[in-house]
Chains A and B, each alone.
Chain A
Amino acid sequence: MIDCIEFRDVSKKYKDTQALDNISFKIQKGEVFGYIGPNGAGKTTTIKILVSLIKDFTGDVFIYGKNIATNRKDLYNLIGYHPQEAHFQGWRTVDHAFKTFGRLSGLSSDFLETQTQEILELLDLSDVRYKKIVHLSGGMFQKLRLGQALLHEPEILILDEPLSGLDPTMRFQFKKIIKKLAKQGKTILFSSHILNDVQDIAGKIGIVDKGHILNIGTPEELQSAFHVGNLIEIVVARNTPLCHDLKELSSVDYIEEVKSVKQIVHLKHDVDIDEAIQQILGQISNQKCQIRKFNLLEPSLEEVYLKYVRGEVE
């Protein structure tokens, strides 16, 4: 795999606030990287450093091995950037915005026209091509931000909160478009403060908070690192006693009795899950407990994320 983007020991301070504190991570070519964290975590700062809108930082950032600080001119056309907040001047039409930004990216008139048509079609904006941007809906406006990022056919897409402020239908459409772009082989970094936005698109997820990368991995890796897989839910039949003496088992840490028919078995962190399950099932069988439900609890990514940002996971 080829390293496409690399952050190496990058820090950034705004007056008294440490926005980024020595962060390092890599994104490989063709990867979709979800960058999540609460508001103010350092996501936009990371992204603005990557697209060279912030230049005074410490550490190094590389794109295909080239340091962005010294090779900016070569990298402009590699990156397409969807900003979180940027507006277009009110007098522009969609067509005019594409023409201006396309020309500034150095595109020829013919290529720009072809690209404009293709992108407007992809984003379902063809009908508003000659409409003033100020008259577009929020969703269309967001699409336009994405459209300008695609004009010069960049290999790398940097999307800063692309789904923020969109209604559910538009979110679905946007995710579909991002998936389509990912299928074309583009390397995509996109940030969000909502985990659901990234978990069904991203192959890898980075969790950032207070300027630190808390963890990076595939969704499955993040779930397993969280250890909450070590919970077993046992529900017994109505009017039958709960299973007793489970806490005597060597793999069990403690038992939480939730209701008269339900108990949660907390396993010790270092146990083999399969062996522990066998032990518990054996005990249940010995006691002749009438089980209605036996379930190994899988944490949702949302839980993992919340635990991380609340500092409940080391």
Chain B
Amino acid sequence: MSLRLLFLDELMGYAKSKVMIVLWFGLPLLSFIIHFIQPDTEGLPISFLVGLVVSSIGGTLSSVMLSTSIVSEKNQHVYELFLIRPVKRSSLLLAKFFSVFLCLIVAIIISLIVGMIIDIFTVGLTEYFLNETFESLIVSISAMAITCSIGIFIGVLVSSIPVAAILSVYLGGQLSSIILLPTIFIESLNPVILALTLGVSLTTIIMGLNIFLFGRQQF
């Protein structure tokens, strides 16, 4: 009950504080920019490239957003107002995770749709392109899940906003690429299955750790 309320509340917060607008318009804008730059994609569709760029930038953004907002709310004792009510500490973190994650998924999907539209008008849409785009979508979403959980991890542990932001930029975006590394060295691995497996398992482990650490903190 409280998780659902907190989740909707967080979404409302992102909507009111214009975070959603920045994500949902900013990331798809990258699709256009990438198209106009016309990079040498070596046969890959624009939508695939868009997926990779967006997941990297979106991952860093989500990590910074989550870590700095948690540090700020801890320092301002915001959680006291929640925890004096029948609200679980884990719900506070999960609501943050799911709301940011959902915002990013929507942003990625919009960006990929923009990329696909560009592909349709430039090189045409083939089954190969669709498969590559789908693969890009899954990898992006899995990477986002990991970066969101890392952002929360940094937010829970750190008490300075600048430190949280710097660590998030260094770690958040970069660690999510771990999801792609095995496919570079082992060609037989299916990147979609690997991304899903690593995305779900690593996110679950990190979020479990976050909830444990957050539960031990004094407010």
Contact = CB atoms under 8 A, between A and B. Distances in A.
Interface of A: 48, 51-54, 73, 76, 79, 81, 83, 85-92, 96, 100-101, 103-106, 148
A92 B15 CA distance: 11
Interface string B64-104: 00000000010011101111111100000000000000000
A52 B84 contact: yes
B17 A91 contact: yes
Given A87-B77, A89-B73, A100-B5, A76 B84 contact: yes
Given A53-B219, A90-B17, A104 B82 contact: yes
B70 to A, nearest CB: 12
Nearest to B73: A89
B77 A148 contact: no
Contacts, number: 60
Sorted nearest first, the 6 A-B pairs with minimum C-beta distance are A87-B76, A86-B77, A91-B16, A86-B80, A91-B17, A104-B85
Interface string B3-26: 001100100110011000000000
Given A53-B219, A103-B5, A89 B84 contact: no
Nearest to B5: A103
Contact of A100 (B9, B17, B76, B77): B9
Contacts of B85: 76, 101, 104-105
* A51, A81, A87: most-surrounded residue (chain B CB, <10 A): A87
Given A86-B77, A87-B77, A103-B5, A51 B16 contact: no
A111 to B, nearest CB: 15
B4 to A, nearest CB: 10
Contacts of A86: 76-78, 80-81
A91 B5 contact: no
A134 to B, nearest CB: 11
B86 A85 contact: no
B218 interface: yes
B164 to A, nearest CB: 17
A83 B218 CA distance: 14
A104 B87 contact: yes
B86 A83 contact: no
20 contacts: A52-B83, A53-B80, A53-B218, A54-B218, A79-B84, A81-B84, A83-B80, A86-B77, A87-B76, A88-B81, A89-B13, A91-B16, A92-B16, A101-B85, A104-B5, A104-B6, A104-B82, A104-B87, A105-B86, A106-B86
Contacts of A101: 81, 85
A135 to B, nearest CB: 14
> Secondary structure at chain B's binding surface: helix, strand, loop or mixed?
helix
B2 interface: yes
A48 B73 CA distance: 18
Nearest to B18: A91
Contacts of A100: 5, 9
A85 B84 contact: no
Nearest to A151: B85
Contacts of B86: 73, 76, 104-106
Contacts of B83: 52-53
A52 B189 CA distance: 50
B77 A51 contact: no
A76 B6 CA distance: 18
Contacts of B219: 48, 53
A58 B13 CA distance: 39
* B13, B77, B84: most-surrounded residue (chain A CB, <10 A): B84
Given A73-B86, A104-B5, A105-B85, A91 B13 contact: yes
Nearest to B6: A104
Nearest to A145: B81
* B6, B80, B218: most-surrounded residue (chain A CB, <10 A): B80
Contacts of B87: 104
Nearest to B12: A96
